[in-house]
Each structure stands twice: as C-alpha cells, then as structure tokens.
C-alpha cells in the first residue's frame, strides 16, 4: 500500500470534549496514513468521529474545548499541540478543506472571485491583485465553471449548488495543497451533480497529485472514488484497507452490516433489507469492550469486556474485531 512516504500520518489520535453531561470521546485512538496521489475514504455514520478527525488534522478545534492527543504529521511536521500561528501557515497552503454545505462555507457578502483571490494572496503575499485574479479565473475554469471571468464577479447565492461546490474546490486548490480533506462534499448535492463533482475530484487529483481524505457515509461514493477506506464506529477505527478488498471481503461485522443493509440498484428488490439492529452509541457512554457489541449478532464475552485492537488480517487489511470474518461465514 505505501510505496511513497505518506504525506499525512495520524497515530493514535484522541479527541475529547468536556460537556456538562460528561466527557465526549469523539475520537478514541485512530491511526492511518495517506500518500500523495491516493485517496482515503473515511466512512462512518453520525457520531462515528469522522468529521472530528478531519477538523483535528486541520487544527481547527478550539483548544479550550477539545483535548487532543496523539500524532498528526503533515508533510513531516507534527501539528498536535503546536501554536495556532504555525498551523495556520499550513492551512490553505499545504492542506485545505472543502465542506458539505458550500452556501455556509462561502461568505454571502463578497463575490466568489474575490474570496478565492484572497485565499491565494494570504499565502502569496507578494502576488498582486492582477495575478491573483488571473489564477482565480484559471482555477474556476479548471473546475468546470462556464464563463469563469464573469462568474468570478458573482455572489454565492447566484451559483447553483453544484457550482458552489466547484467554487469551493477551486478555493481549496488555488494554492496547490498537498493534502485535501473533503468532508461530505457531495451529500447535499443531487446525484447527477454528485457524479460530476466526484469525477472532478478524481481528475484534479491526477493533475495535482494531492493526497485526498474523503469523508462520507455513502459506501457507494467510497467505492467509486477512494483507493483505501477506513471505517469508523464510536470514535474508533474498526476496519482499514484497500477499497476493493474491504468492500468485497469485509471482515468487521459492522462493515458487513452496512453493506448488507444498504439498498442497491441490483440484487433482489423483494427481499427485506438486513438492518443493523439498535442505534449508534453515545460517545459519552461508550459500551465497554467493543463499541459495536450491543448491536453485533456475534458478540461474545470477550467483546463485552475487551476493546479489540486494530490488527492485520491479510496484507494491508486491518480489522479491530475479536472474531474477524465471522459475519462472512455461513
């Protein structure tokens, strides 16, 4: 899996929030790496900790509210515990993020072109207005926005949903970042537009050779776009490996459950879907042992008491389960 030096390395990341109801263990010991030119898909439902992980990588958590431990190494530099000024220099230049809702991520008051140009000039202080504008229009064109020069002068509300997302991608990529984090970038979009955006991300990656972390709840999206996949549950990593391997031969009962409960366009439409019983766990009161055991049909005594470690099952395929592959048997 790792042929080049990984650009992003996360080791034993833990993020905790103190709330009036108790300590929320949003991320509880997650490790992964992403190389340049490869895409890691992080899959999980609400409360799985996937978004918190991505915000931690960008150093966007408020240190007064969140306690972060572990290592996050971006391009050779560990950013955990570093002062914000240091991390800010990386943000927007070496690593960038695109969000789920472009309407709230773009300032409604300023023209889109100006916002993108600003993102460029913050990290290239010697660049003049003209140069920034030229780059902006180039980037808007590259992300497939028709009439980019005219569009650059418009405001976000004049763009459609798909175009806004493209504009956000342009803003994220204007400084050629080596790492791009996309947090549910297509969830709010129509399916035909989603397909366009995913294609765009794919072609941009080939051109810029960036490392991409794509966060989503949609296994279909992951299968189309990602090279590797990390499945999160209850703030922990439960399965990790190449996307084909994990989705064809899931070893963790949760991954297996997700795959069998999702309706598809093919396969038997009359059979009942096989849901995962129960609901995702509370991050304040995580169940003891394996976080998934209350919903797992194969839970045994060990699952109830011992937290499973992430262990390699086959080359490059890791699972955190006491009985990996049990769901596939029979």
Residue whose tokens read 């997302």: 165
What part of residues 272-301 is at the interface with other proteins (CB under 8 A)?
272-280, 282-285, 294
Confirm or reject binding of residue 199 to other proteins (CB under 8 A).
yes
Q: Which one among 131, 218, 245, 300 touches other proteins, defined by CB under 8 A?
A: 218
Decide if 55 contacts 229 (C-beta within 8 A).
no
Confirm or reject binding of residue 265 to other proteins (CB under 8 A).
yes
Confirm or reject binding of residue 139 to other proteins (CB under 8 A).
no
Q: Which one among 69, 160, 305, 328 touches other proteins, defined by CB under 8 A?
A: 160
Decide if 140 contacts 152 (C-beta within 8 A).
yes
Q: Which one among 108, 125, 263, 330 touches other proteins, defined by CB under 8 A?
A: 263
Nearest 5°: the CA angle 208, 40, 175 is 30
Confirm or reject binding of residue 21 to other proteins (CB under 8 A).
yes
Smallest distance from other proteins to CB 247, Å: 5
Q: Which one among 262, 297, 302, 311 touches other proteins, defined by CB under 8 A?
A: 262
Give the residue with the Cβ less far from other proteins, 177 or 235. 235
Confirm or reject binding of residue 103 to other proteins (CB under 8 A).
no
Decide if 296 contacts 303 (C-beta within 8 A).
yes
Range in contact with other proteins (rule: CB under 8 A) among 51-59, 88-96, 110-118, 265-273: 265-273
Decide if 173 contacts 180 (C-beta within 8 A).
yes
Confirm or reject binding of residue 195 to other proteins (CB under 8 A).
yes
Confirm or reject binding of residue 126 to other proteins (CB under 8 A).
no
* Dist. CA 280–CA 236, nearest whole Å: 13
Smallest distance from other proteins to CB 28, Å: 14
Confirm or reject binding of residue 157 to other proteins (CB under 8 A).
no
Residue span 223-252 as binding mask against other proteins, x where in contact by CB under 8 A, dash where not = xxx---------------------x-----
Residue span 40-59 as binding mask against other proteins, x where in contact by CB under 8 A, dash where not = -----xxx------------
Give the residue with the Cβ less far from other proteins, 108 or 277. 277
Confirm or reject binding of residue 191 to other proteins (CB under 8 A).
yes
Confirm or reject binding of residue 258 to other proteins (CB under 8 A).
yes
Give the residue with the Cβ less far from other proteins, 3 or 46. 46
Confirm or reject binding of residue 2 to other proteins (CB under 8 A).
no
Give the residue with the Cβ less far from other proteins, 213 or 283. 283
Please state the three-class secondary structure of the chain as a single string: CCCCCCCEEEEEEEEEEEECCEEEEEEEEEEEEECCCCEEEEECCCCCCHHHHHHHHCCCCCCCCEEEEEEEEECCEECCCCCHHHHHHHECCCEEEECCCHHHHCCCCCCHHHHHHHHHHHHCCCCCHHHHHHHHHHHHHHCCCCCHHHHHCCCHHHCCHHHHHHHHHHHHHCCCCCEEEEECCCCCCCHHHHHHHHHHHHHHHHHHCCEEEEEECCHHHHHHHCCEEEEEECCEEEEEEEHHHHHHCCCCHHHHHHHHHCCCCCCCCCCCCCCCCCCCCCCCCCCCCCCCHHHCCCCCHHHHHCCCCCEEEECCEEECCCCCCCCCCC
Smallest distance from other proteins to CB 274, Å: 7
Q: Which one among 69, 261, 305, 328 touches other proteins, defined by CB under 8 A?
A: 261
Nearest 5°: the CA angle 32, 54, 111 is 140
Residues that bind other proteins (CB under 8 A): 19, 21-22, 24, 45-47, 146, 160-163, 190-196, 198-199, 217-221, 223-225, 247, 257-259, 261-267, 269, 272-280, 282-285, 294
């Amino acid at each position: 899996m790792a042929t080049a030096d990984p650009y992003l390395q996360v080791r034993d990341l833990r993020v905790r929030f103190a709330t009036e109801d108790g300590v929320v263990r949003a991320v509880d010991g997650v490790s992964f790496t992403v190389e340049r030119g490869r895409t890691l898909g992080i899959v999980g439902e609400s409360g799985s900790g996937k978004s918190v992980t991505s915000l931690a990588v960008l150093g966007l958590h408020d240190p007064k509210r969140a306690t972060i431990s572990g290592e996050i190494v971006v391009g050779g530099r560990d950013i955990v515990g570093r002062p914000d000024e240091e991390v800010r220099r990386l943000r927007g230049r070496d690593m960038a993020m695109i969000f789920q809702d472009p309407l709230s991520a773009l300032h409604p008051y300023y023209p889109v072109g100006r916002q993108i140009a600003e993102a460029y000039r913050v990290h290239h202080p010697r660049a003049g207005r003209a140069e920034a504008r030229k780059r902006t229009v180039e980037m808007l064109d590259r992300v497939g926005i028709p009439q980019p020069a005219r569009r650059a002068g418009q405001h976000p509300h004049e763009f459609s949903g798909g175009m806004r997302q493209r504009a956000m991608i342009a803003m994220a990529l204007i400084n050629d970042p080596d790492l791009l984090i996309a947090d549910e970038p297509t969830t709010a979009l129509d399916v035909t537009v989603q397909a366009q955006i995913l294609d765009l991300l794919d072609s941009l990656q080939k051109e810029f050779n960036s490392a991409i972390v794509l966060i989503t709840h949609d296994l279909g999206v992951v299968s189309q776009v990602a090279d590797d996949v990390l499945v999160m549950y209850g703030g922990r990593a439960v399965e990790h490996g190449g996307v084909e391997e994990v989705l064809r031969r899931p070893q963790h009962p949760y991954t297996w459950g997700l795959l069998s409960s999702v309706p598809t366009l093919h396969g038997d439409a009359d059979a009942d879907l096989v849901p995962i019983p129960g609901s995702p766990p509370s991050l304040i009161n995580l169940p003891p042992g394996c976080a998934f055991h209350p919903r797992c049909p194969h839970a045994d005594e060990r699952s109830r008491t011992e937290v499973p470690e992430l262990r390699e099952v086959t080359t490059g395929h890791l699972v955190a389960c006491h009985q990996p592959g049990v769901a596939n048997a029979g």
